[in-house]
A and B are shown apart, each in its own frame.
Chain A
Amino acid sequence: MPAPIRLRELIRTIRTARTQAEEREMIQKECAAIRSSFREEDNTYRCRNVAKLLYMHMLGYPAHFGQLECLKLIASQKFTDKRIGYLGAMLLLDERQDVHLLMTNCIKNDLNHSTQYVQGLALCTLGCMGSSEMCRDLAGEVEKLLKTSNSYLRKKAALCAVHVIRKVPELMEMFLPATKNLLSEKNHGVLHTSVVLLTEMCERSPDMLLHFRKLVPQLVRILKNLIMSGYSPEHDVSGISDPFLQVRILRLLRILGRSDDDSSEAMNDILAQVATNTETSKNVGNAILYETVLTIMDIKSESGLRVLAINILGRFLLNNDKNIRYVALTSLLKTVQTDHNAVQRHRSTIVDCLKDLDVSIKRRAMELSFALVNGNNIRGMMKELLYFLDSCDPEFKADCASGVFLAAEKYAPSKRWHIDTIMRVLTTAGSYVRDDSVPNLIQLITNSVEMHAYTVQRLYKALLDDISQQPLVQVSSWCIGEYGDLLVSGQCEEEEPIQVTEDEVLDVLEGLLVSNLSTPVTRGYSLTAIMKLSTRFSSVVSIYGSSIDVELQQRAVEYNALFKKYDHMRPALLERMPIMEKTASNGPTEIVQTNGETEPSVPDTKHPPLVTQPANQVTARSHDISVFTIDGSFFVTDDVLLNQWFNI
C-alpha cells in the first residue's frame, strides 16, 4: 500500500480542478483512500489523513467519519498527532456530536501533562468548545491551573474558567479563591485574561460584583501605569501601551462603577486623564477613547466628565474615518434619552451625517435625528428630514416616512403645517409609505375640521399630477368622497380655491378605477368615493360595474342596488363621516375597517328615516371594467348591505 499523498500535494491537486464536478471526483477518490487507511488502523499516517480531511471539510465536504480518528490522535503520545487531533476535535467534535464526551479523559490527562504546550492544547480545546458535562468534570483541573505560577498556563486557564462559568454558572464560586492575587501579576497575558474572568464573574453575580468592588483602586493603578509608562516595545501599538488591556480594564471599571458613587468617584480622575491624554490620530487611540466614553456615560460620573464624553463623541462625528463616525452615532443614540440636552448641541453635525455616503451611517443618523426632534426644532429638522426622504435609498423610505408622520403628529406647530408635511411625504415617498399609515392619516384629516377644504383641494391637485402612488391615491379618494362638495364649491380659505366641476372630479375618480396602476384596494376606495359623492353631487345617479375582483364586484353590485331598490336610504347611509376617535388598541384602523361588528360612534343608521326621493333619470354612468356578471340576480340582503356600509 503506497503512502497516502501529503496534505500539500492534495491541496495542489484539488486546486487544479477546473469544475465543481472535477473537484468532487478528486475529493471522493481521496476520501475513499483515507477511509481504507483508517480501517487499517494505520498509526503512521493517521495525522496526515486527518489533516487532509480537515482541508476537505473546509471546502464543504462531509468529514464525520474522521471524528473517531481525531480522538485517536489526541490519545497519541506524539505532539504532532495531538496538535492535529485537537484541531480536528475543535472543527468536527462540538458538543452536539455523540462522541464528544469521549474526549474528556484525554483532555484530563493532557491537562496534567509534563509539557506545557500539551497542557495548552487541552486548555484551548476545553475553553473553546467543552460541553457542560465536560466542564463539570474538568473544572477542578482548570482551577488548579489557575493557581499555577506558569504564566503561559495561567492565562489560558483563566479564559478556560470563563468558558466553564458560561456553560455552568453554578461553578463560579469555586474559582473565587484563585482570583485572589490575579491582578498582582506583571505578565500582561495573565492580567488581560484575569480582567476578562473578573468581568465575567461580576456580570453574572451581584455578590461577586460587591466582592470585587474593592479592586477598583488596583485597576486604576494598573491603568495609570499603562498610560504613564514609557515606550514598551513588547506591548506597544502605535505609541499606546497594550490597548487591549486598557480597554478591558475600562470595561471592568464600567461594571464596577455602575450605580455606586464611591467607585465612580475613585475612577473619575483616571477617566478624565485617559480621555484627555489619549492619542487620537490612529484607530487604536480612538478605540480606547470610545470605551472611555461608554464607561463615563454608564457610571455615576460628575457632569463635567459627562460633558467631556459627549464632546468627544461630537469630535468623533467630524472625524474623517467612517468607522469612528458610525461608532459616535451609535453611542449618541444610546445616550440621547439620558443626556438629551448635551446631545442636542451636536444636532447640526448629526443632521449633516444624513448626507453621508455610507449606508450604515445614514441609517444611524436618521434614527438619531428622529430622537432629537422636539417642539423647538421641529420646523428645521423636518425640512432636513424631508429632504433626506426625497433623496435617500428606497430601503430607508418606509422607516423615514413613518418617523416623519410620528414626529409631525407629536410636535406639529399648526394643523396646516401638519397637512402640508403629510402631503409632502405622500407625494415624494408615496409608494413606500406603510399600509397602516393610510387609516392613520385619514383619522388625522377628519380631526382637522377647519382644514378639510384645504386638504381635499391639495390632494385633488396631487392626484391630477400623479396617480401611481397608492397610499396617496387612497387617501385622496377617501377625502374627495367625503369632502367633494367643499371642493367644487371652492370654499378653501388657506389658498386660492381652484375651479373644478363635479364632472371633472368624477372623471378623475373614474380614471382611478380603470387605471392599470391602481391596486384592487385603491379601486375599492375610488368606487366608494364615487358612491359617496352621489349624495353630495347631483350628477351621480347609479353605478354600473362588474369587475373580476370579487371585492369590487360585490361593492358595485351593492351600490347599484342602493341606487335602484334602496334609493331612499342612500342619503342617510352616505352622510358625512363623523370625526373618528382613536381606539385604545389599534387607533383609527379599528373603526375605519370594521364590519359593523364593533360599535363605532355613528348615528344609528340601521333604521334610517324613510326619505322618498324620485329617482333621477339623468344619464347613468358606465364603466369599462366589465368582465362577467353573475346571472343578474342580487345576492345581497338588507343586512349585508348595511354592514358593508361601514367598510370604506
Chain B
Amino acid sequence: MMHFLLLFSRQGKLRLQKWFTPVPEREKKKIVRDMTTMVLGRKPRSCNFLHWKDLKIVYKKYASLYFCCGLDAEENELLALEVLHRYVELLDKYFGNVCELDIIFNFEKAYFILDEFLLGGEVQETSKQVLSRSIEASDMLQETMEEYMSKPAF
C-alpha cells in the first residue's frame, strides 16, 4: 500500500499531503522535511526511486511540482510511477492544463479527486472516464452550485 503522498514545490512548500497511516503531527512534519530534502537534493537525471527507512520512495517532477509517495517494500515502483502519472492526468482533465496555481487555490478539489482515485493507500478506480464522471456528479450536488461555478462555494 501507499503510506503517504506529498506534493511540494521546488522551494519545498507543501501543496498537498495525504497520509494513509496514523502518524503523529510532529512525525508528519519530520517526514515532509526529510522527503523534500532528499528529493530536492537529487541530481537532475537520477532515477526516480529512493530508499528511506523500510519504505520505497517514488517521486516524479511535473513542471514546478514534485509528486512524492512512500510505498511498502513489496510494491511495484514502475507501477507507482504510473499511479502518479494517472493522478496528474486526472488533475489535468479537471482543471484543464493544470498548473501549480490551480492546486494552490483549489487544494480541496485536488483532495476530492485524489479521494476518488485512491482509498486506504490503494487504487480504487482504473478508468479515467468513470472517475471524472463521479467528480462531476459530486460537484453537481454541492449546494450553491451557481455560486460554485462562477464564484467558489467558499
Contact = CB atoms under 8 A, between A and B. Distances in A.
Interface of A: 6-8, 11-12, 15, 45, 47-48, 51-52, 54-55, 58-60, 78-80, 83-84, 87, 90-91, 94-96, 115, 117, 120, 123-124, 127-129, 131, 152, 155-156, 159-160, 162-163, 166, 188-189, 192-193, 196, 234-235, 237, 242-245, 247, 251, 283-284, 286-287, 290-291, 294, 322-327, 357-361
Given A96-B24, A323-B81, A193 B107 contact: no
Contacts of A358: 45-47
Contacts of B152: 6-8
B127 A159 contact: no
A287 B82 contact: yes
A131 B22 CA distance: 9
Given A244-B79, A247-B79, A287-B82, A189 B48 contact: no
Contacts of B24: 96
Contacts of B20: 128-129
B120 A159 contact: yes
B115 to A, nearest CB: 5
Interface in B93-123: 104-105, 107-108, 111-112, 115-116, 119-120, 122-123
B130 to A, nearest CB: 6
Contacts of A322: 45-48
Contact of B115 (A95, A124, A325): A124
Interface residues of B, number: 55
B32 to A, nearest CB: 9
Contacts of A286: 78
B37 interface: no
Contacts of B31: none
B111 A361 contact: no
B63 interface: no
Given A7-B152, A283-B82, A327-B78, A193 B122 contact: yes
A528 to B, nearest CB: 43
A324 B78 CA distance: 8
A124 B143 contact: no
A54 B120 contact: no
B129 interface: yes
Given A94-B22, A152-B134, A287 B78 contact: yes
A115 B120 contact: no
Contacts of B82: 237, 243-244, 283-284, 287
A245 to B, nearest CB: 6
B29 to A, nearest CB: 7
B47 A234 contact: no
B79 A159 contact: no
B77 to A, nearest CB: 6
B46 A359 contact: yes
Given A6-B154, A83-B142, A192-B123, 8 more contacts: A51-B154, A79-B143, A117-B134, A188-B125, A189-B125, A244-B82, A323-B49, A327-B77
Query: Chain B's interface: helix, strand, loop or mixed, by majority?
Result: mixed
Contact of B47 (A155, A188, A245, A323): A323
Sorted nearest first, the 5 A-B pairs with minimum C-beta distance are: A287-B78, A48-B154, A322-B47, A159-B119, A189-B125
B78 A361 contact: no
Contact of A7 (B14, B79, B123, B154): B154
Contacts of A94: 19, 22-23
B138 interface: yes
Given A188-B126, A323-B77, A128 B48 contact: no
A286 B79 CA distance: 9
A87 B111 contact: yes
Contacts of B154: 6-7, 45, 47-48, 51-52, 80, 84
Interface in B13-52: 14-17, 19-20, 22-24, 29, 43, 45-51
Contact of A117 (B48, B126, B141): B141
B49 A87 contact: no
11 contacts: A7-B154, A58-B17, A91-B17, A115-B141, A120-B138, A155-B125, A245-B126, A322-B48, A325-B47, A327-B49, A360-B47
A290 B79 CA distance: 9
A287 B82 CA distance: 9
A284 B23 CA distance: 32
B142 A80 contact: yes
Contact of B144 (A59, A80, A235, A291): A80
Contacts of A323: 47-49, 77-78, 81
Contact of B22 (A48, A79, A96, A291): A96
A188 B123 CA distance: 11
Given A127-B120, A234-B130, A243 B79 contact: yes
B76 A361 contact: no
B149 interface: no
B79 to A, nearest CB: 4
Contacts of B79: 243-244, 247, 287, 291
A187 B107 CA distance: 30
A327 B108 CA distance: 35
B48 to A, nearest CB: 5
Contacts of A15: 104
A460 B78 CA distance: 52
B105 A242 contact: no
Given A80-B153, A247-B76, A287-B82, A159 B49 contact: no
B28 to A, nearest CB: 10
A78 B143 contact: yes
A160 B19 CA distance: 15
Given A162-B120, A234-B130, A83 B112 contact: yes
Contact of A196 (B81, B122, B137): B122
A193 B123 CA distance: 7
Q: By CB atoms of chain A within 10 A, which of B29, B50, B120, B123 has the most?
A: B120
A283 B86 CA distance: 13
Contact of B129 (A58, A120, A159, A234): A234
Contacts of B17: 58, 91
